[in-house]
């Protein structure tokens, strides 16, 4: 993946997460929904693992990860890719 001329070295999980969000821009995905779609063989553990991967993804794709504009948190619901 590239941002401008810069190549972004995403892990497989980060790439799959980004693809899932980008497949339905503007749609809010719950942590559980992302776990079911991104982690192939199921995941048994804390669903906060999604937060960890979203945070890592943001450090790579956002110009200012502290104020994300692309991968947005929807409080109490989950995450969405901002279609703007």
Query: Is the model's pLDDT at 1 over the cut of 70?
Result: no
Q: Cα separations (Å) of 52 from 6, 39, 47, 84?
A: 23, 14, 10, 24
**Could you please report the per-residue DSSP string of 33-83?**
HHHHHHSTT---S-TTHHHHHHHHHHHHH-SSTTS-SSEEEETTTEEEE--
3 state SS of 15: helix
Please state the pTM of the whole predicted model.
Answer: 0.87
* pLDDT-derived band at 67, boundaries 50, 70, 90: very high
pLDDT mean over 60-78: 94
- For the chain, the domains span 7-81
In CATH terms, 7-81 corresponds, of 3.30.470.20, 3.30.70.260, 1.10.10.10, 1.20.910.10, to 1.10.10.10
- Give tens-digit pLDDT for 25-57: 999 999 999 998 998 776 667 788 999 999 999
């Amino acid at each position: 993946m590239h941002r401008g001329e810069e190549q972004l070295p995403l892990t497989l999980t980060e790439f799959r997460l980004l693809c899932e969000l980008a497949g339905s821009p503007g749609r809010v995905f719950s942590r559980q929904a992302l776990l079911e779609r991104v982690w192939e063989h199921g995941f048994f553990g804390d669903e906060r693992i999604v937060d960890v991967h979203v945070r890592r993804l943001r450090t790579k794709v956002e110009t200012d990860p502290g104020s994300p504009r692309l991968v947005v948190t929807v409080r109490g619901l989950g995450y969405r890719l901002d279609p703007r």
